[in-house]
Chains A and B, each alone.
Chain A
């Protein structure tokens, strides 16, 4: 069966450290992978998109990697700050079918001062 799994429901990290979140998928052939941030009581906000032929993407303190062999994406936040505390969702755009985005359940990140 098709699955998207984000490594843990919750991740606590000390301020200043690098947070690493994992997104694994099975039985999908994604063309793209996206990462979104969701704050409590709000809708998801787009952060980064990475294509299947790209290994890495960066935006300020954010870095995303995409390994289609391992079927995994890693999302890194360097020099993490308490303001980075939120739920982070990965989403796949698959090569077949009409469904535009398939979301993982998210990882709730807490950055402790």
Chain B
């Protein structure tokens, strides 16, 4: 009964490929997020969706495209992968948009070769 789950856990791929990471939450939350944690462990928000609607889109290359088919799912598609995309990507969810505790998934470790 994992609260926030992500697949895959590890992703190793070549430069230029397109890949997707999936996220699901069973907490009944309205808001979901994608974060990137780089090699220096700095955790930075990329996107936020509330009830399937995009509400935060930080300065992220447009090769990254989130998709929310319903409020329990938020997937991240990355086109034309670059070496600098290597990082750990975390999905999270919260009940409301601001100020609320966030619940994080286990992370997807992406390595671009």
B26 to chain A, nearest CB (A): 15
Q: State whether A41 and B107 are in contact (beta carbons under 8 Å apart), knowing that A99-B58, A100-B98 are contacts in the complex.
A: yes
Residues of A within 8 A of B55 (CB): 98
Binding-face segment, B38-46, B60-68, B75-83: B38-46
Interface assignment of A79: CB less than 8 Å from any CB of chain B: no
Q: State whether A100 and B45 are in contact (beta carbons under 8 Å apart), knowing that A31-B99, A43-B92, A93-B98 are contacts in the complex.
A: yes
Interface assignment of A28: CB less than 8 Å from any CB of chain B: no
Question: Which of A93, A99, A106 interacts with B41 by CB under 8 Å?
Answer: A106
Interface assignment of B101: CB less than 8 Å from any CB of chain A: yes
Bound Cα distance from A49 to B99, whole angstroms: 9
Q: Which of B74-105 contact A (CB under 8 A)?
A: 90, 92, 94, 97-105
Judging by beta carbons under 8 Å apart, are A87 and B41 in contact? yes
Give the size of the chain A interface in residues (CB under 8 angstroms).
Answer: 21
Interface assignment of A105: CB less than 8 Å from any CB of chain B: yes
Interface assignment of B113: CB less than 8 Å from any CB of chain A: no
Interface assignment of B33: CB less than 8 Å from any CB of chain A: yes
Q: Which residue of B lies closest to A103 (CB)?
A: B43
Residues of A within 8 A of B98 (CB): 31, 93, 100
Question: Which of B33, B90, B103, B106 interacts with A100 by CB under 8 Å?
Answer: B33
Question: Which of A42, A46, A99, A100 interacts with B107 by CB under 8 Å?
Answer: A42
Q: Which residue of A lies closest to B9 (CB)?
A: A41
Judging by beta carbons under 8 Å apart, are B42 and A101 in contact? no
Interface centre among B33, B101, B105 (most CB of A within 10 A): B101
Interface assignment of A25: CB less than 8 Å from any CB of chain B: no
Bound Cα distance from A46 to B43, whole angstroms: 14
Residues of B within 8 A of A31 (CB): 98-99
Q: State whether A43 and B106 are in contact (beta carbons under 8 Å apart), knowing that A99-B45, A99-B58 are contacts in the complex.
A: yes
Q: Which residue of B lies closest to A47 (CB)?
A: B101
